[in-house]
């Protein structure tokens, strides 16, 4: 970096560019030139992995573009600033550096500003995408409770798009599972199932089928863990439990939204083991289920086994 090395060099260049924005007698500041130079400095800083400083330069670009009434360039700069500050926080988190989360707070502020700008421009889909990005970033930093705020915001912004609305509900369900709120997660999963049945075509194909499979297995594992009383069980949940109960009149495989007969049989056996409080069978079944389930389902299975062993 020219003008010195490290932080000192950055400050020299930043102040040099900022001085061009000062009003002088009979001379207007060249805001466009300053914006370009701040942008170039941000790129140089990001190449050197000076993420927080690059973020500050992008904030300066946004202010310049606001002065020039360039709304699209302003929101792009604010979004880039948010991502740079988020990167700085992520690096600190990975290195276990002590901090007051100042980079994260600044990133959240920038994301909020960009979301508001997109809302002002009547672009709810773009606003929602940023809300999801922030929510997922907070989850990756171990802050699922804070992530819920932005994922719920994205869900509302995507109200006109059933598939994206469904995806956001899935993120919320995952957050609630991470927080141990199984009742809340079950409510979200049930809402997702209803939305799929109401909006998706039949037969289900592609992503809708995959999402429904996830909802069905997650809901089953949660119901087995919560063990609600029959009079407190919703009809949809009763039907789900009955689907995976061993049939008394025949041995036909129930209709499920995934193509894995082995998984169906193992889940049926799991229901039977839970109904009989057979912890030894449950432990054996969990070993067979492990290679067939994804991370979230494995987490729910672990909770189920732990609760059954405790009771």
Please spell the DSSP secondary structure of 263-291, one letter per residue: HHHHHHHHHHHHHTT-HHHHHHHHHHHGG
Q: pLDDT of the chain along its 311 residues, tens only?
A: 443 455 668 889 999 999 888 877 657 888 999 999 999 999 999 999 999 999 999 999 999 999 999 999 999 999 999 999 999 999 999 999 888 999 999 999 999 999 999 999 999 999 999 999 999 999 999 999 999 999 999 999 999 999 999 999 999 999 999 999 999 999 999 999 999 988 876 777 788 999 999 999 999 999 999 999 888 889 999 999 999 987 644 556 678 888 899 999 999 999 999 999 999 999 999 999 999 999 999 999 999 999 999 87
Q: How many CA atoms lie within 13 A of 225 on its CB side?
A: 23
Predicted confidence at residue 8, as pLDDT, reads 66
- CATH dotted code for 1-94+101-126: 1.25.40
Cα–Cα distances (Å) from 171 to 131, 144, 178, 229, in that order, read 12, 10, 11, 28
Domain boundaries, the chain: 1-94+101-126, 172-311
Predicted confidence at residue 35, as pLDDT, reads 95
Cα–Cα distances (Å) from 294 to 213, 290, 298, in that order, read 12, 8, 6
Predicted confidence at residue 29, as pLDDT, reads 84
> For the whole model, what pTM was predicted?
0.89
Cα–Cα distance, 119 to 100 (Å, whole number): 30
Cα–Cα distance, 271 to 232 (Å, whole number): 18
């Amino acid at each position: 970096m020219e003008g010195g090395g490290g932080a000192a060099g950055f400050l020299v260049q930043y102040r040099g560019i900022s001085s061009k924005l000062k009003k002088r007698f009979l001379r207007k500041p060249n805001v466009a030139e300053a914006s370009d130079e701040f942008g170039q400095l941000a790129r140089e800083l990001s190449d050197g992995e000076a993420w927080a400083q690059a973020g500050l330069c992008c904030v300066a670009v946004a202010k310049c573009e606001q002065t020039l009434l360039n709304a699209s360039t302003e929101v792009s700069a604010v979004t880039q600033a948010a991502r740079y500050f988020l990167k700085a926080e992520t690096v600190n988190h990975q290195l276990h550096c002590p901090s007051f989360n100042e980079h994260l707070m600044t990133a959240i502020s920038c994301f909020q500003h960009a979301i508001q700008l997109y809302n002002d421009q009547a672009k709810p889909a773009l606003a929602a995408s940023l809300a999801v990005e922030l929510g997922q970033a907070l989850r990756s930093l171990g802050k699922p409770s804070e992530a819920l705020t932005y994922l719920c915001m994205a869900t509302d912004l995507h109200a006109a798009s059933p598939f994206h609305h469904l995806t956001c509900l899935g993120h919320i369900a995952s957050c609630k599972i991470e927080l141990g709120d199984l009742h809340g997660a079950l409510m979200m999963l049930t809402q997702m199932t209803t939305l799929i049945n109401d909006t998706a075509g039949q037969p289900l194909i592609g992503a809708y089928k995959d999402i429904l499979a996830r909802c069905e297995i997650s809901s089953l594992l949660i119901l087995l863990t919560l063990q609600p009383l029959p009079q407190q069980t919703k009809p949809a949940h009763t039907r789900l439990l009955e689907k995976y109960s061993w049939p008394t009149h025949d041995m036909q495989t129930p209709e499920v939204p995934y193509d894995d007969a082995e998984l169906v049989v193992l889940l049926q056996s799991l229901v039977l083991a839970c109904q009989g409080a057979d912890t030894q069978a449950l432990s054996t079944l969990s070993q067979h289920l492990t290679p067939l389930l994804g991370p979230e389902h494995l987490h729910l299975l672990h909770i189920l086994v732990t609760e059954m062993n405790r009771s």
